[in-house]
Amino acid sequence: MQRNNQKDQVVIDAKKFKIAIVVANFNEDITGGMLKGALEILEKNGACEKNIELVWVPGALEIPLACQRIAKNKKYHGIVALGCVIKGDTDHYLYVSKESIRGVMNVMLEFSIPIGVGIITVNNLKQAQDRSGSKNNKGAEATQAMLEMV
C-alpha cells in the first residue's frame, strides 16, 4: 500500500479482489453518479471488471439484506453499499437513514467483511448532487475506504 502524492490517496493492488457493489434504485440519478465514482476508483486501483458484481435493490432499506446475502457466500473480499436518502416532510428520512446504515454496520461486524458505506443522508437534492458528481463523490470515497480495509 502506498500513498499517492496528488491527493494523499492510498493506491491498492486490487487485481485479484472480488468486489460486490450494492446500489439502491431509489434516487437512481444520484446513486448512478455514486456508482460511476465507485467504478472509477476500482479501475484506478486495477480491479478487474470480471471480478465486480453489481446488485441493484429497490431502496436504502434493502441494502443491508443484499449485503448480508453477499457476505454469507464468502465469495467477495469487500462490498460497497450505495444509497441516497433525501430529507422530506416526515420523519421517514430518519428511520431509513439510521436503519439502513445500522444494518450495513451489523453485516460488516457479523461477517468481518469490509463494506464501504456510501449511503448518503442529505437535506435536499442539491446536497445529493454535490455528493454524487465528479468532485466530492461519496461512492468513490466509500470504495476507497473499502479497498483500504481489504
Structural domains counted in the chain:
1
Catalytic annotation present for 92: yes
pLDDT of 143 strictly over 60: yes
71-89 pLDDT per residue, tens: 999 999 999 999 999 998 8
Per the domain annotation, does 120 fall within a domain?
A: yes
Q: In terms of Cα–Cα distance, which of 9, 13, 71, 60 is closest to 37?
A: 9
**Residue 146 scores a pLDDT above 70:** yes
> Residue 10 pLDDT > 60, yes or no?
yes
Q: What is the pLDDT of residue 48?
A: 92
Residue 125 counted as domain residue: yes
**The Cα angle at residue 62 between residues 133 and 106, in degrees rounded to 5:** 95
Domain contains 9:
no
Residue 4 covered by a domain: no
Question: Which is the catalytic residue, given 3, 92, 98, 102?
Answer: 92
Domain residues for 109?
A: 19-149
Distance between CA atoms of 27 and 25, rounded to whole angstroms?
6
Q: Average pLDDT, whole number, for the chain?
A: 92
The answer to whether 67 and 79 have CB atoms below 8 angstroms apart is: yes
Evaluate whether residue 111 is within a structural domain.
yes
Q: Is pLDDT of 2 > 90?
A: no
pLDDT reported for residue 3: 47
pLDDT tens, residue by residue, 30-75: 999 999 999 999 999 999 999 999 999 999 999 999 999 999 999 9
Cell of 128: 445529493
- Residue 54 inside a domain? The answer is yes
**Domain annotation covers residue 74:** yes
What torsion do the CA atoms of 107, 109, 115, 116 make, to the nearest 10 degrees? 120
Tell me how many degrees the CA angle 60-139-126 measures, rounded to the nearest 5.
Answer: 75
Assigned domain for 13 exists? no
Residue 103 sits in a domain whose CATH number is 3.40.50.960
